[in-house]
Protein backbone atom coordinates (compact mmCIF):
# COMPACT_ATOMS: atom_id res chain seq x y z
CA UNK A 1 0.00 0.00 0.00
CA UNK A 2 2.78 2.38 0.99
CA UNK A 3 4.79 1.53 -2.14
CA UNK A 4 1.79 2.20 -4.36
CA UNK A 5 1.28 5.54 -2.64
CA UNK A 6 4.95 6.56 -3.18
CA UNK A 7 4.87 5.55 -6.85
CA UNK A 8 1.66 7.51 -7.41
CA UNK A 9 3.09 10.56 -5.67
CA UNK A 10 6.27 10.42 -7.80
CA UNK A 11 4.21 10.22 -11.00
CA UNK A 12 2.18 13.22 -9.91
CA UNK A 13 5.33 15.25 -9.18
CA UNK A 14 6.87 14.37 -12.58
CA UNK A 15 3.64 15.30 -14.35
CA UNK A 16 3.49 18.64 -12.57
CA UNK A 17 7.13 19.33 -13.45
CA UNK A 18 6.51 18.65 -17.15
CA UNK A 19 3.39 20.84 -17.09
CA UNK A 20 5.38 23.71 -15.48
CA UNK A 21 8.08 23.43 -18.16
CA UNK A 22 5.44 23.49 -20.89
CA UNK A 23 3.79 26.58 -19.37
CA UNK A 24 7.16 28.34 -19.04
CA UNK A 25 7.96 27.75 -22.71
CA UNK A 26 4.52 29.01 -23.75
CA UNK A 27 4.92 32.14 -21.60
CA UNK A 28 8.38 32.83 -23.07
CA UNK A 29 6.99 32.49 -26.59
CA UNK A 30 4.15 34.89 -25.79
CA UNK A 31 6.47 37.52 -24.30
CA UNK A 32 9.23 37.24 -26.93
CA UNK A 33 8.95 39.85 -29.70
CA UNK A 34 7.96 38.53 -33.10
CA UNK A 35 10.85 38.70 -35.58
CA UNK A 36 9.98 40.00 -39.03
CA UNK A 37 12.41 38.33 -41.48
CA UNK A 38 11.87 41.10 -44.02
CA UNK A 39 12.72 43.77 -41.42
CA UNK A 40 15.86 41.90 -40.43
CA UNK A 41 16.83 41.68 -44.09
CA UNK A 42 16.34 45.45 -44.53
CA UNK A 43 18.49 46.10 -41.45
CA UNK A 44 21.22 43.89 -42.88
CA UNK A 45 21.02 45.72 -46.23
CA UNK A 46 21.24 49.05 -44.39
CA UNK A 47 24.34 47.94 -42.52
CA UNK A 48 25.97 46.74 -45.75
CA UNK A 49 25.19 50.02 -47.53
CA UNK A 50 26.57 52.00 -44.58
CA UNK A 51 29.78 49.98 -44.69
CA UNK A 52 30.12 50.40 -48.46
CA UNK A 53 29.49 54.16 -48.14
CA UNK A 54 32.18 54.43 -45.44
CA UNK A 55 34.62 52.41 -47.55
CA UNK A 56 34.02 54.50 -50.68
CA UNK A 57 34.33 57.75 -48.71
CA UNK A 58 37.65 56.58 -47.27
CA UNK A 59 38.90 55.60 -50.71
CA UNK A 60 37.73 58.89 -52.23
CA UNK A 61 39.66 60.91 -49.64
CA UNK A 62 42.79 58.78 -49.95
CA UNK A 63 45.56 59.96 -52.29
CA UNK A 64 45.39 58.21 -55.65
CA UNK A 65 48.12 55.83 -56.78
CA UNK A 66 48.61 57.25 -60.26
CA UNK A 67 51.08 57.87 -63.03
CA UNK A 68 52.87 61.20 -63.07
CA UNK A 69 51.08 63.80 -65.17
CA UNK A 70 47.66 62.13 -65.02
CA UNK A 71 44.58 63.98 -63.73
CA UNK A 72 42.70 62.59 -60.74
CA UNK A 73 39.55 64.77 -60.49
CA UNK A 74 36.59 64.87 -62.89
CA UNK A 75 33.62 67.26 -63.03
CA UNK A 76 30.89 66.49 -65.52
CA UNK A 77 27.33 67.06 -66.67
CA UNK A 78 25.24 64.41 -68.38
CA UNK A 79 21.72 63.55 -69.38
CA UNK A 80 19.94 60.29 -70.10
CA UNK A 81 16.65 58.93 -71.39
CA UNK A 82 15.11 55.46 -71.27
CA UNK A 83 14.62 53.44 -74.43
CA UNK A 84 12.88 50.41 -72.91
CA UNK A 85 11.51 48.75 -69.77
CA UNK A 86 12.77 45.17 -69.38
CA UNK A 87 11.60 42.83 -66.62
CA UNK A 88 14.87 41.58 -65.15
CA UNK A 89 13.84 42.52 -61.58
CA UNK A 90 10.94 44.98 -61.79
CA UNK A 91 7.47 44.19 -63.10
CA UNK A 92 6.34 47.63 -64.32
CA UNK A 93 6.12 48.55 -68.02
CA UNK A 94 5.09 51.46 -70.24
CA UNK A 95 7.20 54.13 -68.49
CA UNK A 96 9.67 56.70 -69.82
CA UNK A 97 12.39 58.10 -67.60
CA UNK A 98 14.70 61.09 -68.10
CA UNK A 99 17.44 62.67 -66.02
CA UNK A 100 19.86 65.62 -66.03
CA UNK A 101 22.76 65.24 -63.61
CA UNK A 102 26.10 66.53 -62.33
CA UNK A 103 28.94 64.17 -61.56
CA UNK A 104 32.10 64.35 -59.49
CA UNK A 105 34.85 61.75 -59.78
CA UNK A 106 38.09 61.15 -57.90
CA UNK A 107 40.74 58.61 -58.90
CA UNK A 108 41.35 55.87 -56.37
CA UNK A 109 43.90 53.93 -58.41
CA UNK A 110 45.44 54.86 -61.74
CA UNK A 111 47.71 52.40 -63.51
CA UNK A 112 49.20 52.72 -66.98
CA UNK A 113 46.21 51.13 -68.76
CA UNK A 114 43.38 51.05 -66.19
CA UNK A 115 42.02 53.54 -63.65
CA UNK A 116 39.47 53.13 -60.85
CA UNK A 117 37.41 56.15 -59.85
CA UNK A 118 34.97 56.94 -57.04
CA UNK A 119 31.96 58.87 -58.37
CA UNK A 120 29.22 60.99 -56.82
CA UNK A 121 26.20 62.01 -58.91
CA UNK A 122 23.73 64.76 -58.04
CA UNK A 123 20.45 64.49 -59.97
CA UNK A 124 18.54 67.79 -59.67
CA UNK A 125 16.11 67.01 -62.51
CA UNK A 126 14.43 63.66 -63.00
CA UNK A 127 11.07 62.88 -64.52
CA UNK A 128 9.02 59.83 -65.29
CA UNK A 129 6.10 59.57 -67.70
CA UNK A 130 3.64 57.02 -66.34
CA UNK A 131 -0.04 56.05 -66.50
CA UNK A 132 -2.47 57.90 -64.25
CA UNK A 133 -4.94 55.69 -62.38
CA UNK A 134 -8.31 56.28 -60.77
CA UNK A 135 -10.22 53.85 -58.57
CA UNK A 136 -12.83 51.88 -60.50
CA UNK A 137 -15.27 49.10 -59.73
CA UNK A 138 -13.63 46.48 -61.94
CA UNK A 139 -10.44 46.20 -63.96
CA UNK A 140 -9.74 42.48 -64.43
CA UNK A 141 -7.29 42.73 -67.35
CA UNK A 142 -4.94 45.51 -66.18
CA UNK A 143 -2.48 46.02 -63.35
CA UNK A 144 -3.12 46.99 -60.58
CA UNK A 145 -6.55 45.43 -59.98
CA UNK A 146 -9.12 47.92 -58.73
CA UNK A 147 -7.72 50.94 -60.60
CA UNK A 148 -8.34 52.08 -64.16
CA UNK A 149 -5.81 53.86 -66.39
CA UNK A 150 -7.40 57.16 -67.44
CA UNK A 151 -4.47 59.25 -68.79
CA UNK A 152 -0.72 59.80 -68.48
CA UNK A 153 1.16 62.05 -66.08
CA UNK A 154 4.70 63.45 -65.81
CA UNK A 155 6.14 63.19 -62.31
CA UNK A 156 9.22 65.27 -61.43
CA UNK A 157 11.80 64.70 -58.75
CA UNK A 158 15.48 64.59 -57.92
CA UNK A 159 18.03 62.48 -56.12
CA UNK A 160 21.62 61.64 -55.36
CA UNK A 161 23.87 58.64 -56.03
CA UNK A 162 26.55 58.76 -53.32
CA UNK A 163 27.88 55.28 -54.10
CA UNK A 164 29.68 54.91 -57.40
CA UNK A 165 32.70 53.31 -59.06
CA UNK A 166 34.00 53.75 -62.62
CA UNK A 167 36.69 51.87 -64.53
CA UNK A 168 38.53 53.38 -67.50
CA UNK A 169 40.46 51.12 -69.84
CA UNK A 170 43.09 52.13 -72.47
CA UNK A 171 44.24 55.02 -70.27
CA UNK A 172 46.97 56.10 -72.66
CA UNK A 173 44.52 56.58 -75.56
CA UNK A 174 41.99 59.25 -76.41
CA UNK A 175 39.28 56.61 -76.93
CA UNK A 176 38.72 54.81 -73.61
CA UNK A 177 36.25 52.07 -72.72
CA UNK A 178 34.41 52.54 -69.41
CA UNK A 179 32.38 50.41 -67.02
CA UNK A 180 30.56 51.86 -64.01
CA UNK A 181 27.97 51.27 -61.32
CA UNK A 182 26.16 53.67 -58.98
CA UNK A 183 23.52 53.49 -56.23
CA UNK A 184 21.39 56.04 -54.41
CA UNK A 185 17.83 57.28 -54.05
CA UNK A 186 15.14 59.29 -55.81
CA UNK A 187 12.48 61.55 -54.24
CA UNK A 188 9.50 62.58 -56.38
CA UNK A 189 6.45 64.84 -56.11
CA UNK A 190 4.08 61.89 -56.68
CA UNK A 191 4.44 58.12 -56.08
CA UNK A 192 6.39 56.28 -58.78
CA UNK A 193 6.36 54.08 -60.77
CA UNK A 194 2.68 53.52 -59.88
CA UNK A 195 0.67 56.45 -58.53
CA UNK A 196 -1.89 54.68 -56.34
CA UNK A 197 -2.36 54.27 -52.57
CA UNK A 198 0.61 52.24 -51.37
CA UNK A 199 2.95 53.77 -53.94
CA UNK A 200 6.06 55.58 -52.71
CA UNK A 201 7.59 59.01 -53.36
CA UNK A 202 10.97 57.86 -52.02
CA UNK A 203 12.68 55.06 -53.93
CA UNK A 204 16.09 53.43 -54.11
CA UNK A 205 18.02 52.99 -57.35
CA UNK A 206 21.11 51.27 -58.69
CA UNK A 207 22.58 50.83 -62.15
CA UNK A 208 25.29 49.20 -64.25
CA UNK A 209 26.88 51.09 -67.14
CA UNK A 210 29.10 50.40 -70.14
CA UNK A 211 30.32 52.83 -72.78
CA UNK A 212 33.26 54.97 -73.82
CA UNK A 213 34.90 58.35 -73.28
CA UNK A 214 36.49 60.33 -76.11
CA UNK A 215 39.22 62.69 -74.80
CA UNK A 216 40.84 65.69 -76.40
CA UNK A 217 44.58 65.61 -77.14
CA UNK A 218 45.55 66.95 -73.68
CA UNK A 219 43.16 64.61 -71.81
CA UNK A 220 41.56 67.58 -70.07
CA UNK A 221 38.09 67.22 -71.66
CA UNK A 222 35.99 64.24 -72.73
CA UNK A 223 32.64 63.26 -74.21
CA UNK A 224 30.94 60.23 -72.65
CA UNK A 225 28.40 57.95 -74.32
CA UNK A 226 27.06 55.02 -72.31
CA UNK A 227 24.34 52.41 -72.00
CA UNK A 228 22.89 51.91 -68.53
CA UNK A 229 20.65 49.29 -66.96
CA UNK A 230 18.83 50.97 -64.06
CA UNK A 231 16.49 49.58 -61.41
CA UNK A 232 14.14 51.66 -59.24
CA UNK A 233 12.45 50.11 -56.19
CA UNK A 234 10.97 51.04 -52.83
CA UNK A 235 13.07 48.29 -51.23
CA UNK A 236 9.98 46.42 -49.99
CA UNK A 237 9.30 49.11 -47.39
CA UNK A 238 5.63 48.44 -48.26
CA UNK A 239 3.75 45.29 -49.23
CA UNK A 240 3.28 46.76 -52.69
CA UNK A 241 6.59 47.02 -54.63
CA UNK A 242 6.09 47.21 -58.41
CA UNK A 243 9.76 47.96 -59.26
CA UNK A 244 10.92 49.47 -62.55
CA UNK A 245 13.75 48.35 -64.86
CA UNK A 246 15.10 50.71 -67.51
CA UNK A 247 17.32 50.55 -70.58
CA UNK A 248 18.98 54.00 -70.61
CA UNK A 249 21.24 55.88 -73.02
CA UNK A 250 23.28 58.78 -71.64
CA UNK A 251 25.50 61.50 -73.07
CA UNK A 252 27.85 63.64 -71.01
CA UNK A 253 30.75 66.08 -71.07
CA UNK A 254 33.54 66.16 -68.47
CA UNK A 255 36.38 68.41 -67.34
CA UNK A 256 39.52 66.94 -65.74
CA UNK A 257 41.97 68.50 -63.30
What digits encode the pLDDT tens for the residues 169-183? 998 899 999 999 999
pLDDT score of 134 more than 50: yes
- Cβ atoms 85, 97 nearer than 8 A: no
Of 143 and 36, the structure prediction assigns the larger pLDDT to 143
Output the pLDDT for position 4.
47
Spatial CB neighbours of 137, under 8 Å, sequence gap ≥ 6 = none
Mean per-residue pLDDT, 35-52: 47
Which pLDDT band, with edges at 50, 70 and 90, does 61 fall under?
Answer: low
Spatial CB neighbours of 77, under 8 Å, sequence gap ≥ 6 = 100, 101, 102, 103, 252, 253
41: part of which helix (H) or strand (E)? helix 37-61
pTM (whole model) above 0.75: no
Output the pLDDT for position 67.
46
pLDDT score of 40 more than 70: no
Output the pLDDT for position 78.
97
Mean per-residue pLDDT, 192-206: 92
Mean per-residue pLDDT, 136-143: 62
- Cβ atoms 229, 246 nearer than 8 A: yes
Mean per-residue pLDDT, 24-35: 40
Which pLDDT band, with edges at 50, 70 and 90, does 68 fall under?
Answer: very low
Instruction: Tell me the percentage of the chain whose pLDDT exceeds 70.
Output: 69
- Cβ atoms 80, 232 nearer than 8 A: no
Question: For the segment 106-128, what is each residue's pLDDT rounded down to a tens digit?
Answer: 999 988 899 999 999 999 999 99
Amino acid sequence: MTNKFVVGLSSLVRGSELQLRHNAKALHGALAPEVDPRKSLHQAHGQILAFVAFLLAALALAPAARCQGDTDTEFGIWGGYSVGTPHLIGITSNRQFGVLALRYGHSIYDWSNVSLQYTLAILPIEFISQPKYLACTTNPNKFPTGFCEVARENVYGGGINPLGLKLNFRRQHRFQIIGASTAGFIASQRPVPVDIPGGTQFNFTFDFQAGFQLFNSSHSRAWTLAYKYQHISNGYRHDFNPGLDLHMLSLGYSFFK
